[in-house]
Structure 1
Amino acid sequence: MSDIDREIMRVLPDAATQSNYLSTPEIHRRLTNTVPDMPSSKTIHRHLAKLEEEGLVEMDQRGTASIWRKKAGASGMAAKGGGLMSFDEALALQTLRRFSSRQIPELVAESLSAMFEIADTRLRKTNSETERKYSRWTSKVAVESGGFALHYPVIDRELFGTVSRALFEERKLEIVYRPRHNTDNDRAKVVLPFGLVEVGGLVYLVAGTEGKTNPTMYRLDRLSRAAAMLESFAYPSSFSLDAYVKQQRSFDFMVEKEVQLKLKFVSGAGDHLLEAPMSKDQKSTRKDDVLHVQGTVMLSQRLRWWLRSFGPYVEVIGPASLRAELAEEAGELARMYGQ
Structure 2
Amino acid sequence: MQVLPDAGKGEEPISTPDVHGKLCVRLLDPPVVKTVQRRLEEMLRDSLVVMEQRGRAKYWRKVAGASGLAAKAAGTMTYDEALALQTLRRFSTWRIPTLVAETLSPLFDVAAKRLATVNNQHERRYRKWIDKIEVETGSFALQYPEVDSDIFAMVSQALFNEQKLEIVYQPRTKVDNTEAKVVHPLGLVEVGGLVYLVAAMPRHPNPAMYRLDRLVRATMLPESFAQPRGFRLSEYVREQRHFDFMVEGVIDLRLRFRNGAGNHLLEAPLSDDQQVRQGDDTLEVRGTVLLSQRLRWWLRAFGPNVEVLAPERLRSELAAEAMALAGIYAGR
The reply to whether TM is greater than 0.5 is: yes
Match of 1:271 in 2: 263
Structure 2 counterpart of 1:216, which letter?
Answer: A
Q: Does 1:116 pair with 2:103?
A: no
Partners in 1 of 2:329 and 2:66 — Cα distance?
A: 62
Offset at 1:85?
A: 2.2
Partners in 1 of 2:292 and 2:21 — Cα distance?
A: 45
Deviations 1:292-332 (A, max 9, x none): 11111110000000100111111111110000000010111
Verify the 8 A CA contact 1:34 1:230 in the aligned structure 2: no
Partners in 2 of 1:154 and 1:227 — Cα distance?
A: 19
- Please report the TM-score for the alignment, with normalisation by the length of structure 1: 0.88
Aligned residue pair count: 327
Matches within 5 A, 1:104-253: 104-253=96-245
In angstroms, what is the RMSD of aligned CA positions? 2.6
* CA gap 1:29/1:214 in 2 versus in 1, 3 angstroms: farther
Q: Does 1:85 pair with 2:77?
A: yes
Counterpart selection for 2:286 from 288, 294, 303: 294
Verify the 8 A CA contact 1:33 1:228 in the aligned structure 2: no
Offset at 1:56?
A: 2.8
* CA gap 1:23/1:300 in 2 versus in 1, 3 angstroms: farther
Deviations 1:255-290 (A, max 9, x none): 111111111111111111111111111111111111
* CA gap 1:74/1:328 in 2 versus in 1, 3 angstroms: closer
* CA gap 1:191/1:22 in 2 versus in 1, 3 angstroms: farther
Verify the 8 A CA contact 1:90 1:120 in the aligned structure 2: yes
Structure 1 counterpart of 2:172, which letter?
Answer: R
Structure 2 counterpart of 1:11, which letter?
Answer: V
* CA gap 1:102/1:177 in 2 versus in 1, 3 angstroms: same
Question: Please, which moves more after superposition, 76-85 or 184-193?
Answer: 76-85
Dislocated runs of 4+, deviation >6 Å: 42-45
Question: Please, which moves more after superposition, 86-95 or 216-225?
Answer: 86-95
Match of 1:97 in 2: 89
Partners in 2 of 1:26 and 1:227 — Cα distance?
A: 21
Query: Unaligned regions of 5+ residues in structure 2, if any?
Result: none
Offset at 1:182?
A: 0.9
Question: Please, which moves more after superposition, 250-259 or 119-128?
Answer: 119-128
Counterpart selection for 2:312 from 317, 320, 325: 320
What is the SS of the residue equivalent to 2:226? coil
Partners in 1 of 2:10 and 2:147 — Cα distance?
A: 20
Q: Does 1:257 pair with 2:256?
A: no
Query: Unaligned regions of 5+ residues in structure 1, if any?
Result: 1-8
Partners in 2 of 1:15 and 1:285 — Cα distance?
A: 65
